[in-house]
Amino acid sequence: MTEAIRIYSEMRNDIISCDLEPGASVSEAELCARYNASRTPVREACRRLQEEGLLQIVPFRGYTISPLTIDEYRSLNEMQLVLDPAAAAMAAERATDEQIAMIERWANYIYHAGEKKSYETFLEWNRNFHIEIAQATGNDIMVEMTVNLQTRLIRYFYLVISMASYGKELVNEHQAMVRAIRARKPEQARDRATEHVIRTMERTSLIRIPQGGFRGDPRKDVQPVRSRT
């Protein structure tokens, strides 16, 4: 593992978990000290995080951790509701047996409430699950859009799963999608994916995102909303 990749991985986890707070300004010197590294690998890591939408570069000043806002959250939800069902339907038609096996592999991790490491593992498996479905479509643009979408959603998901235990529900929804894809039933795959996205949106709606976005550590401000069901 190169130094730049190490810093990228550690910094990405810190951004996702909000240890590096949304909207926070950080200098290059602060990042070098935090990750015990020189400027060149820090810059490489930050460039990659900028490409993923997790970090903003401020010329001559340093960096800003991308904020979490209600407008972004709504926009990402709208895109997910279009993209994920379409990808699942296409995968049911086009996926090879090997690709279906890989999709199923990523569908089965259950995170454990209160265990930060298991959150990080689940979020990576969840991201890979959706990306693997997109790759099975054979559509490079679909893959590119899914990678971007899943990367930008990941911090919102972290807040949700750290607030309550949805592990078994999520795995059941993923497995239902896998069964439809394996059965080569595009419309059923589309329906299962749509249901999964809607349930995810319902879970995510149980956090209140301030109109102006979170300032500071959102883990201190997130307030669950009582479900009506």
The reported pLDDT for the residue numbered 224 is 44
| Domain limit, last residue, from 65, 91, 110 | 65
Same domain, 177 and 99: yes
Q: Is the CB of residue 28 less than 8 Å from the CB of residue 63?
A: yes
Asked if the structure places residue 227 within a domain, the reply is no
Asked if the structure places residue 229 within a domain, the reply is no
**Total domains in the fold of the chain:** 2
Same domain, 186 and 137: yes
Asked if the structure places residue 226 within a domain, the reply is no
Q: What is the rounded distance in angstroms from the CA atom of residue 73 to the CA atom of residue 155? A: 10
Tokens of 189: 């795959």
Same domain, 216 and 108: yes
Q: What are phi and psi of 25, to 5 degrees?
A: -95, 135
Q: What is the rounded distance in angstroms from the CA atom of residue 73 to the CA atom of residue 130? A: 18
Same domain, 192 and 175: yes
Same domain, 83 and 126: yes
Tokens of 171: 């795995």
Asked if the structure places residue 31 within a domain, the reply is yes
Asked if the structure places residue 124 within a domain, the reply is yes
Containing structural domain, residue 49:
3-65
Same domain, 166 and 86: yes
Same domain, 56 and 91: no
Same domain, 127 and 197: yes
| Domain limit, last residue, from 23, 38, 65 | 65
Q: What is the rounded distance in angstroms from the CA atom of residue 10 to the CA atom of residue 46? A: 11
CATH classification at residue 55: 1.10.10.10
Kindly write down the DSSP assignment for every residue of the chain, as one continuous string.
Answer: --HHHHHHHHHHHHHHTTSS-TT-EE-HHHHHHHTT--HHHHHHHHHHHHHTTSEEEETTTEEEEPPP-HHHHHHHHHHHHHHHHHHHHHHHHH--HHHHHHHHHTT-----TT-HHHHHHHHHHHHHHHHHHHHHTT-HHHHHHHHHHHHHHHHHHHHHHHHS--HHHHHHHHHHHHHHHHTT-HHHHHHHHHHHHHHHHHHHTTBPPPTT---S-HHHH--BPPP--
The reported pLDDT for the residue numbered 219 is 52
Q: What is the rounded distance in angstroms from the CA atom of residue 120 to the CA atom of residue 9? A: 11
Per-residue pLDDT of the chain (229 residues; tens, 9 = 90+): 799 999 999 999 899 888 898 999 999 999 999 999 999 999 999 999 999 889 999 988 899 999 888 888 889 999 999 999 999 999 999 999 999 999 999 999 988 877 878 888 999 999 999 999 999 999 999 999 999 999 889 888 888 777 777 888 999 999 999 999 999 999 999 999 999 999 988 887 766 665 555 555 555 555 444 433 3
Residue 160: closest CA among 125, 215, 113? 113
Same domain, 178 and 217: yes
The reported pLDDT for the residue numbered 225 is 41
Place of tokens 């419309």: 187
Asked if the structure places residue 32 within a domain, the reply is yes
Q: What is the rounded distance in angstroms from the CA atom of residue 50 to the CA atom of residue 44? A: 10
| Domain limit, last residue, from 45, 65, 85 | 65
Q: Is the CB of residue 132 less than 8 Å from the CB of residue 99?
A: yes
Q: Integer distance in angstroms from the first to the last C-alpha of the chain? A: 47
Same domain, 82 and 173: yes
Same domain, 102 and 136: yes
Same domain, 91 and 192: yes
CATH classification at residue 134: 1.20.120.530
Tokens of 176: 């239902």
The reported pLDDT for the residue numbered 221 is 52
